[in-house]
Structure 1
């Protein structure tokens, strides 16, 4: 009899429960910050935003690597099933919540600190929209791989691995340098 290990449905439920608890704690903590006052909360919210962005970027940078490895697995094999589970959990447990928190906190910070003003901020938001488009493209690919549809080629996924990196570099430069 095969052990469920880290790939069984029980492990998936546990991972979702842990992620849900972490999300509730994270959102609860953010809510408490609103109660302590705007000035004191701002730096905490900025820190939480950076944590969410780092988590989201980790997923955006790792997912194409999983797709490349998945391409090497025979369709319907145990290895392909393992990659499907890894991709699905990465998307649902880390990437979706991190993206949502990045947007929620980022929009609040843009409004509270800058009133949505500044060319650099508009360019940054456009780049984040680009990251979001990449995120949803990856999400569609996860579903295709689960159905046994090997979309694109390993070379394509190697190139796609660079898209979030380029957008991240642009965002960091825009936030730190504020060139316009």
Structure 2
């Protein structure tokens, strides 16, 4: 293979990794929009009811089938892109990294909250959950601005 062939392979590989990153970001954020809404409905169901058990099952499936695998793949693809593209020194990427780290912490908190709900604990109000439901949207807007506009 000559230099042009390697450049083409690199370009195609980078594009596929980038596509995977965007696809799993969409899945992850969609799940993060949905999970707090599930928790709100769960909290509004009678404790110990069949409805509550169905919400517990739905939440578990959302976390294990969509949210957790998507977050892991977002990180794998994202770190790969930053490494391949030699982007770690870019200020916009460092800011994005911090926002994604915060979003990952939010994800972890939401998973932990679901476990509390499954045990019958309901520590947050429906209003608090509704407010927390806005965090993924705010984080997504900041990330898109950092990646597209690259303000610094």
User: Normalising by the residue count of structure 2, what TM-score does the alignment of the two structures yield?
Assistant: 0.92
Q: Which residue pairs with 2:32 in the alignment?
A: 60
**Could you report, residue by residue, the CA deviation over 1:13-67 in whole angstroms, capped at 9, with x for unpaired residues?**
xxxxxxxxxxxxxxxxxxxxxxx93221110110011001000001100001001
CA positional deviation for 1:150? 1.4
CA positional deviation for 1:113? 1.2
Q: Which residue pairs with 1:168 in the alignment?
A: 140
User: Normalising by the residue count of structure 1, what TM-score does the alignment of the two structures yield?
Assistant: 0.78
Whether 1:94 aligns to 2:94 is no
CA positional deviation for 1:112? 1.0
Secondary structure of 1:114's aligned partner: coil
Residues 130-169 of structure 1: matches in 2 within 5 Å?
130-169=102-141
Residues of 2 paired with 1:142 and 1:44: CA distance?
34
Secondary structure of 2:85's aligned partner: helix
Structure showing greater relative contact order (alpha-carbon pairs closer than 8 Å, 6 or more residues apart): 2
What runs of 5+ residues in structure 2 fail to find an aligned partner? 1-7
Whether 1:85 aligns to 2:57 is yes
How many residue pairs match? The answer is 145
What runs of 5+ residues in structure 1 fail to find an aligned partner? 1-35
Poorly superposed stretches of 4+, deviation over 2 Å:
36-39
User: What is the aligned counterpart of 1:113 among 72, 85, 90?
Assistant: 85
Residues of 1 paired with 2:57 and 2:9: CA distance?
42
